[in-house]
Amino acid sequence: MSTFTETLTWLVDVPSVTGREARICTEVATRLYPSAGRDAVVRLGDSLIVGRRTDRPLVLLAGHLDTVPSQGQKAAFVAGDRLHGLGAADMKAGLAVMIHLLEDPGVHDGGFDVIGIFYAGEEGPSAGNELGEVLAKATWMSQAAFAVVLEPSDGELQFGCNGIINATVSFEGKSAHSARPWLGANAVTKAGSGWPGFIECSRERSTSTE
């Protein structure tokens, strides 16, 4: 049985940038076959549902397989009491917890059906997030008594989703002779003076609680 650090090191060292989750999906499935059983590991795209449904209360554990693009990180390494590497916190540490829980005989034999959802595409555009597809195809998940998304928060409440605005802004100008620039309108100048105001307006809208 792997230690938690070994499991997390393995997960971090399997590249899984958004859109390229096929390999880690296969490796997680292969790891969980012995404890869950092949028929209890269901693959949907590059996402997995792991566990058996019985008549016990249902608890869902969820975590995304993908990471943001690499910024030059090297292989996973431990410094002090922390493991470092791409996706270590967001959110392969959570995946490691899920794997160890799903492999634990005490969890299997406990009072709950504990089902793991390992899904792809969280870090990219919403259209590529496979969690919606998983939930749509496994409608029985709506019967869950409790669900936990294991993205680490250090035990703190995190209010990070304040909204976003995607906008295309155009600044129109009017050509003029370089000897008489006052007869025209410089689009670059307009952009320089108008863009900061737009950014501030967008920031106010995205953080509004109304």
- Residue 34, exposed/middle/buried by CB under 10 A (0-12, 13-18, 19+)? exposed
For 101, half-sphere exposure in the C-beta direction (CA atoms, 13 angstrom radius) is 21
Single out the catalytic residue among 66, 113, 123, 130.
66
Single out the catalytic residue among 46, 122, 123, 130.
122
Q: How far is CA 12 from CA 30, 35, 87, 128, 137, in A?
A: 17, 22, 6, 22, 29
| Cα 95 to Cα 24: distance, rounded to the nearest angstrom | 11
And the tokens for 152? 């680490």
122 catalytic? Reply is yes
Catalogue the active-site residues. 66, 122
